[in-house]
A and B are shown apart, each in its own frame.
Chain A
Amino acid sequence: MRSLRSPLGRAAGLGAAHTGVHHWWLQRLTSVALVPLSIWFTVSLLALPAFDHATVVSWMAQSWTAVLLILLVLAGTWHSQLGVQVVVEDYVHGSGAKAVTLALSTFAHIVVAIAGVFAVLKVALGAVA
C-alpha cells in the first residue's frame, strides 16, 4: 500500500476531519472583510465629535453605520472564534480539557456576537431614547 488515504479521500481532497480547508478559508474570508471594516470603525470613532449618549445613538442609528457595525461584530467574532480555536488546539493539552475549552469558547463567541448584533439593531430601529 503506497498511501493510507482512500481513493475517495484523495479525490475529495479532504483530511480526516473534513473541515481543515473550510476553517482556513473562513479565516481568510473574515480577515479580508475585517481589513476595511476595522479601518472604517477606527476612523469613525476618531471622527465622532463626542462620546455622550445622544451623539453615539444618532451615529449608530444611521443605516450604514448599523450595517457596518453588524458586519464588524459578525466578522470579528467569527475570526476570533477561529483564531482562539487554533490557539486552544495548540496550547491546551489533554483531549478533555481541550474539548471543554473549545466548547466554552464557542458559546462565549456566540453570546458576544448575538449581544453585539442585538445592541446595534435595538439602537438602529429606534428603540433607544
Chain B
Amino acid sequence: MSRYTLATSIFNRFTGVLLSVGQLALVYWLLAVASGSRAYAHAHDILSQPIAKLFYIVLMVGFSYHLVAGVRHLIWDTGRGLERTQAKRSAWIVVIVSMVLLVVLMYCLLAQGISR
C-alpha cells in the first residue's frame, strides 16, 4: 500500500470516529428538544459555547472528508479505480472535493450566522 492510500484510509477512520462522537451531540440535541423548552434552553446554552462551536467546525471537516472518501470506497466496491495510478489520482480528488465541500459548508454557516 502506498503512502497516499494509507493516509486517506487512516484519515477516513479518524473522521469516522469523530462523526460517531458528533452523533452523540446530535442525539443529545434531539433529547433536549424532546425534554421541553426549559431543558432545551439549558442544552442550547451548552451547545452554543465557543468550544462547542469549534467542535462543529471540526465535525464539518470530518463530515466533508468522510462523505467524499466514503463515496470513493463505494466506487472501489464496484471494482473500478483500483489500479495504482487511479488510486493515487482519486486520493487527490477526494482531498480537493472534500475541501470544496468544506468551504461551501463554512460559507453557508457564516452566511446563516450573519443573517440572524
Residues of A at the B interface (CB closer than 8 Å) are: 28, 31-32, 34-35, 38-39, 42, 46, 50-54, 56-57, 60, 69, 73, 76-77, 80, 83-84, 86-87, 112, 115-116, 118-120, 122-123, 127-129
- How far is the CB of B49 from the nearest CB of chain A, in Å? 14
A46 to B17 alpha-carbon distance, docked (Å): 23
Whether A77 and B23, one on each chain, are in contact in the complex, defined by CB atoms closer than 8 angstroms, is: yes
Please indicate the chain A residues that have their CB under 8 angstroms from the CB of B24 in the complex: 112
8 Å CB contact of A46 from B13, B40, B63, B108: B108
- Please list 20 pairs of residues, one from A and one from B, whose beta carbons are closer than 8 Å in the complex, sorted by A's number: A39-B67, A46-B112, A53-B36, A56-B33, A60-B30, A73-B26, A73-B30, A76-B26, A83-B13, A83-B20, A84-B20, A86-B13, A112-B27, A115-B27, A116-B26, A120-B30, A120-B34, A123-B30, A127-B34, A129-B37
Query: Chain B residue with minimal CB distance to A48?
Result: B112
Among A42, A50, A120, A127: residue with most chain B CB under 10 A: A42
B100 at the A interface (CB under 8 A): no
Chain B positions 15 through 50: 1 when the CB is less than 8 Å from some CB of chain A, otherwise 0: 011011001101100110111110011001000000
- Are the CB atoms of B23 and A35 closer together than 8 Å? no
* Dominant secondary structure of chain A at its interface with chain B: helix
Contact of A32 among B16, B26, B40, B74 (CB under 8 A): B74
Q: Majority SS of interface residues in chain B?
A: helix
How many residues of chain B are within 8 Å of chain A by beta carbon?
31
| Residues on A with beta carbons closer than 8 Å to the beta carbon of B109 | 46
Q: A57, B33: Cβ atoms under 8 Å?
A: yes
B32 — nearest CB in chain A belongs to which residue?
A119
Point out the residues of chain B lying under 8 angstroms from A127, CB to CB.
34
- 14 further A-B contacts with Cβ under 8 Å, apart from A116-B26, A119-B34, are A28-B74, A31-B73, A50-B116, A56-B40, A73-B26, A76-B23, A83-B17, A112-B23, A115-B31, A116-B27, A118-B34, A119-B27, A123-B34, A129-B37
- By a CB distance below 8 angstroms, the chain A residues around B35 are 128
| Residue in chain B with minimal CB distance to A84 | B20
Residues on A with C-beta less than 8 A from B83 are none
B71 lies within 8 A of chain A by Cβ: yes
